[in-house]
Amino acid sequence: MSILRTEHLEKKFGAGNQGGAGVVAVCGIDLTIGGGEFVAITGASGSGKSTLLHMLGGITRPTAGRVLLEGVDLASLDDDALALVRRRRIGFVFQRYNLLPELSLVENVSLPLVLDGMSDARADEAALAALETVGMEHRARHRPDELSGGEQQRGAIARALVAKPAIVLADEPTGALDSVNSRRVVELLERLVAERGQTVILVTHDAGVAAAAIRTIRIQDGRIESDTHGVPHGLHTPTGGGA
Ligand SMILES: Nc1ncnc2c1ncn2[C@@H]1O[C@H](COP(=O)(O)OP(=O)(O)OP(=O)(O)O)[C@@H](O)[C@H]1O
Ligand SMILES: [Mg+2]
């Protein structure tokens, strides 16, 4: 079953105040992503990857076309309803972690649940469980500036997971990490797909990171240049030796 579908998705940015031509960042993308897929999106800088991911996650509204998440057209939702979908069904991981500096790690992770009306005690418990998943429960009471980049990113992944979203969208989540921490983050994302059946869509410049995904979509000038399914190099190569 498709969990995410786009139809002729487009994003045009205005000309700006310098009077230049407008930019078509994403141009008529038709995409179907099934539940439990691990998809990498690659492409040159400026090709439209982040813009596409932001539209998939309801952060940016398209200028044309539609995004259907679990069959629901995101354009049919008002801002409050969209915020709710983002909080409950989608987890976002950014290149620069985006943890709030004045909160402890566990407070950062529990925040989406608290905002959603959960009691502090229950949200704290769920946040600690999410931190355990990423191997960070021992640092739960520390503030982000007391953690390494890799630790902060694992914390940010815990925050993306805490509401048990159907889809995790990650924009260059390893972009600021060394190779050891990159590998840990990628293995974590692989586990979400393999063990929990979550859908992961990952934007990356790094061919090694993209190789972990089962499907790779290359974007060029806002369009899909190629969409290939292959055997990942990762943990869960299908039995029977598919192509
Ligand atoms: N808010 C904006 N206003 C105007 N143009 C924008 C805006 N955001 C992105 N763009 C333009 O849209 C195009 C696609 O940008 P996008 O950020 O999606 O690229 P990207 O593939 O994620 O690049 P990178 O790999 O460098 O992150 C670029 O030409 C960019 O300059
Ligand atoms: Mg980008």
What is the position in ligand 1's atom list of the atom closest to the CA of 16? Answer: 4
Residue 231 has pLDDT above 90, yes or no: no
Distance 24 CA to ligand 1 centre (A): 9
Task: Note whether 121 and 85 are within 8 A (CB).
Answer: no
Distance 50 CA to ligand 1 centre (A): 7
CA contacts within 13 A on the Cβ side of 136: 31
To test the ligand 1 pocket, which listed residue (11, 29, 50, 202) has its Cβ within 8 A of the most ligand atoms?
50
Question: Does residue 104 have its Cβ closer than 6 Å to ligand 1?
Answer: no
pLDDT tier at 241 (50, 70, 90 boundaries)? very low
The pLDDT assigned to 97 comes to: 79
The pLDDT assigned to 120 comes to: 96
Question: Does residue 13 have its Cβ closer than 6 Å to ligand 1?
Answer: yes
Distance 50 CA to ligand 2 centre (A): 4
Task: List pLDDT tens digits, range 81-103.
Answer: 999 999 889 999 988 878 999 99
Residue 236 has pLDDT above 50, yes or no: no
Alpha-carbon distance of 235 to 237, in angstroms, equals 6
Task: List pLDDT tens digits, range 11-32.
Answer: 999 876 666 678 999 999 999 9
The reported pTM is 0.89
Q: Span 56-61, mean pLDDT?
A: 94
> 35-61+78-229: what fold?
Rossmann fold (3.40.50)
Q: What percent of the chain has pLDDT over 70?
A: 92
pLDDT tier at 58 (50, 70, 90 boundaries)? very high
Three state DSSP letters for the chain: CEEEEEEEEEEEECCCCCCCCCEEEEEEEEEEEECCCEEEEECCCCCCHHHHHHHHCCCCCCCEEEEEECCEEHHHCCHHHHHHHHHHHEEEECCCCCCCCCCCHHHHHHHHHHHCCCCHHHHHHHHHHHHHHCCCHHHCCCCHHHCCHHHHHHHHHHHHHCCCCCEEEEECCCCCCCHHHHHHHHHHHHHHHHHHCCEEEEECCCHHHHCCCCEEEEEECCEEEEEEECCCCCCCCCCCCCC
Residue 115 has pLDDT above 60, yes or no: yes
The pLDDT assigned to 18 comes to: 67
pLDDT tier at 242 (50, 70, 90 boundaries)? very low
* Closest C-alpha to ligand 1, atom 30: 46
Tokens describing residue 191:
């586990």
> Which residues neighbour 10 within 8 Å (Cβ) at sequence distance 6 or greater?
24, 26, 27, 28, 29, 62, 63, 64, 65
Q: Span 187-203, mean pLDDT?
A: 91
Q: What percent of the chain has pLDDT over 90?
A: 70
Residue 243 has pLDDT above 60, yes or no: no
State which of 30-34, 161-165, 187-191 shows the largest mean pLDDT.
30-34
Task: List pLDDT tens digits, range 41-50.
Answer: 999 999 999 9
Which ligand neighbours the alpha carbon of 42 most closely?
1
Distance 49 CA to ligand 2 centre (A): 6
